[in-house]
Structure 1
């Protein structure tokens, strides 16, 4: 008999309690929305603190966060819907039902990057500086947000009998796998990977303030892009619900592109000797 790891640690089967926290009349509070809101609030607070340590006005982060939400969330939904158009074209009313899940992080990254570029241009501040300050918060938010997939019983992987297997209710199983009960918890794999990437970025950030190592502005963002993409490439291989373009898993293609862009960007920062500033520590001690 294979025992779930949560049974060992917590005394109950590793299975989602469902997507809804509470319903009060017409008001429904869902885990997915709560986790996204929590991730945004934590991310903004963290980025403001990091901005202070790099001598950047933290109020800029507050303004930027609005742009990022406006740019990222609709883009994440649009990205997902476009690659699932055969499904949503039959039920167009579901296109705006973002609370049911179905957003793509790569869409959010594209939309958020475009929003940040425009914001930086309007406010005459370095995009690279903003990207560095936001990157640790982004990956932390991704780590938190992935748990929304757990509560929705989605974004799971192939059937498995491993100790950390995840029970999926029959209604959420693909028809071809209806006889299987347990699957790879790929949401958990990615959440854990993202926490590791967050630890790497935040360590680099604070060590760079003392010049050990001596980082150039933009390094954290490019490191985030490469590190997250490395994890997503192999984790996506477990998924059974990947967005596809013919025989290709879109997330893997985009992630491989992200790794190459990150490598090229680091080469541009360090090898080409571009006139971008080094990280400057704040004299504050808080």
Structure 2
């Protein structure tokens, strides 16, 4: 029997986890929440490295995260609830469930928008240039989104239309939308988006190193790349969603946000900020000396 024939059954479909909750005594450990927390940790680590390579100071990224993360979670939940109101305020809905973030449902559009407000506040309090911080953040944000998408896998949500491709995702009957009770495998759109985010992060790091981007251009590149992938992936999904002119609301959001990102990318200043701090900081000289002794200028792009 050929190796391909042996591999056939293995690649028949991607299984979904049997459970997304484990109990440590009376305390439930939810996979969705753990994936979100892991994504946040990845973003902080990657952003801190990129920020210090640009001339920032150790600890500043964590200080900003204390503002950006809570704002982002609230913004993500608000967008999800407002864009899918029937489950909470429609017939048979339960408004209290709007508070149950651990059950899934964080819209990236609201998370980035309100998270940016929190990041701006954190940057002002820490004496950091917001545009420089946004550029340092962009690749790590994409990686955080990729890790967070694994939470949708555990929750058996955000999958696409039926497929017979070898990487189709098996969905339990209880999680299948109406009209698809007899379908077993669906497009794993959570996985498509996760992979797209990883590739987009690599592209941003490469472009940043190649052209020494600054003044928000890395972040605007993130917006353009993410919305390109998200807009296409949204067309594959079959879960209930608000429709506008025959298209899912998130498709229109992707188009609108993508246009804003393209305009920002085209009109942002060329080059990179000479200083990433708003005012001289007593620790800046120490940070610059440490970066120089490591064989890299503070403004050098990060190593992969």
Shorter chain as denominator, the TM-score bin is 0.7 to 0.9
Q: 2:275, 2:19 → 1: CA distance?
A: 43
Q: How do residues 1-286 of structure 1 correspond to structure 2 at under 5 angstroms?
A: 13-89=13-89, 90-205=93-208, 207=209, 212-241=210-239, 243-246=241-244, 247-270=246-269, 277=273, 282-283=291-292, 284-285=294-295
Q: 1:27, 1:39 → 2: CA distance?
A: 22
* Shift of residue 12, structure 1, vs aligned partner: 8.2
- SS of residue matched to 2:99: coil
Question: Per-residue CA shift, 1:119-168, capped at 9, x if unaligned?
Answer: 33344432111101111110000011111111111000011111111111
- SS of residue matched to 1:162: coil
**1:8/1:66 CA distance change after superposition, 3 Å:** farther
Q: 1:126, 1:253 → 2: CA distance?
A: 31
**1:63/1:188 CA distance change after superposition, 3 Å:** same
- Whether contact under 8 Å (1:214, 1:278) holds in the other structure is no
* Shift of residue 239, structure 1, vs aligned partner: 0.8
- The normalised TM-score by structure 2 is 0.82
Which of the pair has more CA radius of gyration?
2
Q: Which has the higher contact order (CA 8 A, sep 6+)?
A: 2
- SS of residue matched to 2:164: coil
Q: 1:175, 1:122 → 2: CA distance?
A: 49
- SS of residue matched to 1:23: strand
- The normalised TM-score by structure 1 is 0.87
- Whether contact under 8 Å (2:13, 2:166) holds in the other structure is no
Q: 2:9, 2:260 → 1: CA distance?
A: 41
Q: 1:232, 1:256 → 2: CA distance?
A: 10
Q: 1:43, 1:10 → 2: CA distance?
A: 33
- SS of residue matched to 2:251: helix
**1:151/1:12 CA distance change after superposition, 3 Å:** farther
* Shift of residue 9, structure 1, vs aligned partner: 9.3
Bigger mean CA deviation after superposition, 136-145 or 98-107: 98-107
Bigger mean CA deviation after superposition, 165-174 or 25-34: 25-34
- Whether contact under 8 Å (1:242, 1:249) holds in the other structure is no
Q: Gaps (5+ residues) in structure 1?
A: 1-6
- Whether contact under 8 Å (1:158, 1:238) holds in the other structure is yes
- SS of residue matched to 1:239: coil
Q: 1:18, 1:96 → 2: CA distance?
A: 25
How many corresponding residue pairs? 272
* Shift of residue 22, structure 1, vs aligned partner: 2.1
